[in-house]
Amino acid sequence: MRKGWLPGSSAYYEQKRIIEGLHSTGPELDRKYWVALALYAVLAALVWYTIGEGKFLVHGRAVDIRLVPLLVIGLFAFRTVLARHAETIRRRGDRGAEDEGGKSAPGS
């Protein structure tokens, strides 16, 4: 057996997932999107109510300490939104290719 493909390694499980075809598509992916955004909102609320009201200086300006983890959570939420939009564009492109009989555009 090759190194890295041993049962228990991440490469093994990734290969197994690909072979079994457990990729999320369509409605399942949309459901996961909304669950992820709801969990980001819950996490943001927990951060807001559990982190104290401290302040620190950034370039001579006082910044509330709660804003730092909220900014990180917001960036993850933004990344999730961008990934969903990219997936919808890909799906729309795939659907268009199927409607044309799988032919690609000239010059591509």
**pLDDT class of 5 with cuts at 50, 70, 90:** low
Q: Which long-range contacts (CB under 8 A, 24 or more apart) does 18-22 make?
A: none
Report helix, strand and coil shares of the chain as percent, to nearest 5. 65, 5, 30
Q: How far apart are CA 97 and CA 61, in angstroms?
A: 53
**Beta strands in 1-108, from DSSP E residues, in sequence order:** 55-58, 61-64
| Range in 8-12, 39-43, 79-83 the model is least confident about | 8-12
Kindly report, residue by residue over 50-76, the tens digit of the pLDDT: 998 889 888 999 988 999 999 999 999
**Two tokens, residue 97:** 């290719």
- Mean pLDDT, the chain, rounded, equals 80
Tokens for 105, please give them: 């555009």
Provide the pLDDT for residue 28: 80
- What's the pLDDT score for residue 18? 67
pLDDT reported for residue 72: 96
